[in-house]
Amino acid sequence: METQNSEYFQQVQIKDSITLAKESSSQNCFQKYIDKGSINECVINLCIISVGIGLLALPQKVQYVTLVFTPILIIFFALINYWTFTVLGDASRKLKVNKYEDIVSALFSQRFTFFFTFVMCFGLFGVIILFQVILYKFIGGIINEIFNYGFINMEIFSKGSFWSETQTRLLVCYSIALFVFVPLCTIKTISQMRFITTFGIFSVFLIIIIVVIQCPGFFYHNVIKKKMQINIMDFTEGFGPDLKFITSLSTILYAYECHAGIFPVISGLVNPTQERVNTVFKRATIINVVSYIIITLAGYFTQPQHTPDLILEREKLDDTDYLMTLGLILFSITIMTKIGALFNCLRSLLLNFLKYDVDNYPNNVNYLLIFIVFSITTFIAAMFQNISDYISLISSFYGLFIAVVMPGLIYIKSSDAPQLNKSLALCLIIALCSIGAITIYFTLKKMFNF
């Protein structure tokens, strides 16, 4: 029986060493490093799903969370994120299923499973729209910088020029969808996207380098010459009327959220034993922690007061900042690859809901899903460029539900851990949900001015 379970969990046939040696000899170094089904490939795919706008928003949060506590909280939330990953992985092995929604179905009622699937689909749908809105604004900022239209930032450019006209938005958004997203999403599995997602992660790496190498010049100009104050341990601003300290915690927590993509990623892992799966989770978490801390500190030191929402929008020292324009281009590429990876997660959910085998389904079904999803998301993103707050609200609820509530409930329902551990897990869920609820409240307050 134990042997049968082991074969079930692995779900793949391991190639013999002779075959592997022959295949390895025919590959170049790059192919070997991200070989299909390897740990490195899965780590890259998991990282591209988790990396988002939170990466660029983290430097601003230092002024509310303080320089001392921000790195500590980045590490603390990384540990929580790693724990939730392992909870889902352990539940998958114990229940003998390999999809998030199947774990929920095995532990909860059918109605709750339907609600869970709806939240997953609706959340991913909303996140894809949000990234298309942000991508359009980024492209506007790039055009503004390259052609010197004279607008101060991409937000004004997108509202105060031809870039805000409806026909321009529709033309640009649908052109991107047609020539970028449609070809990208015809790839049927996230494993087959490994070279594209690697390029997206490489773009993030270059963005971090740009922020770091520009940091000394900005630090000298803004801190030494202008004598801007660095918030080392002052919580005054963070605990003002808007409780920016609490809402900043949400930004740090959600920066790791990629739980909908765990199973599409791990499904491509060769020999998915517990040790190999946890290695993927561990390496992806470490990469995120290092990246987040570096860009947070380097970004904050460039402009410690009036730090922009996204560090790529910081004040320029000269009339032009071509390196930061390059950063906008690189992050636009990252967003494109991220949208492709998110659609892969959404497609798996939809295929499972429609009773198709996610590993073997007709091409016409794939094309139909691509057409439906991007026809709707692109239209909404093009027509309603001012919906970022609404979509962020959806994303906050989605992230809280998928990354915190469900892993905690699954741990309580499926784990053989002592009751004390389950009680502590429940307290953690309540604490994190409180942070999320406060964030949602202040987002609504900002949107509706009450």
Q: pLDDT tens across 240-279, in order?
A: 888 899 989 988 998 898 898 899 888 888 888 999 999 9
Report d(CA 176, CA 16) in Å as an integer: 43
What pLDDT score was predicted for residue 177? Answer: 96
Q: Give the DSSP H or E segment for 204.
A: helix 194-219
Q: How many C-beta neighbours within 10 Å does residue 296 have?
A: 26
What pLDDT shows up at residue 153?
63
Q: Per the domain annotation, does 45 fall within a domain?
A: yes
CA distance 284 to 280: 6
Confirm if 9 and 302 have CB atoms less than 8 A apart. Answer: no
Query: Contact 345/189 with Cβ under 8 angstroms?
Result: no
Q: Is 401 helix (H, G, I), strand (E, B) or coil?
A: helix
CATH number of the domain enclosing 216:
1.20.1740.10
**101: in domain:** yes
Q: What tokens does 124 get?
A: 């991913």
Query: How far apart, in whole angstroms, are the C-alpha atoms of residue 260 and residue 247?
Result: 23
The two tokens of residue 282 are 């561990």
- Which residues are within 8 A (CB) of 64 and not within 5 positions of it... i.e. 6 or more apart? 237, 238, 244, 245, 247, 248
Q: How far apart are CA 281 and CA 89, in angstroms?
A: 10
Mark the ranges of the chain whose per-residue pLDDT is less than 50.
Answer: 1-30
* Residue 154: predicted pLDDT: 65
CA distance 95 to 75: 30
- Full domain range(s) for residue 421: 37-448
In a domain, 30, yes or no: no
Residue 127 lies in a domain: yes
Sign of CA dihedral 211, 213, 219, 222: negative
What residue type is assigned to position 197 of the chain? T
The token pair that represents 402 in the structure block:
């998928």
Residue 13 lies in a domain: no
Amino acid at 85: F
- Identify whether 16 is part of a domain: no
User: Is 102 within a domain?
Assistant: yes
3-state SS class at 360 = strand
Distance CA 121, CA 411 (A): 23
Ramachandran angles phi, psi of 203, nearest 5° = -65, -40
* Residue 425 in domain: yes
Instruction: Convert the pLDDT of each residue in 212-233 to its tens digit.
Output: 999 999 999 999 988 888 999 9
Domain count of the fold of the chain: 1
Residue 23, phi-psi category: left (phi > 0), alpha (psi -120 to 50), beta (remainder): alpha
For helices 69-95 and 244-254, the axis angle rounded to 10 degrees is 40
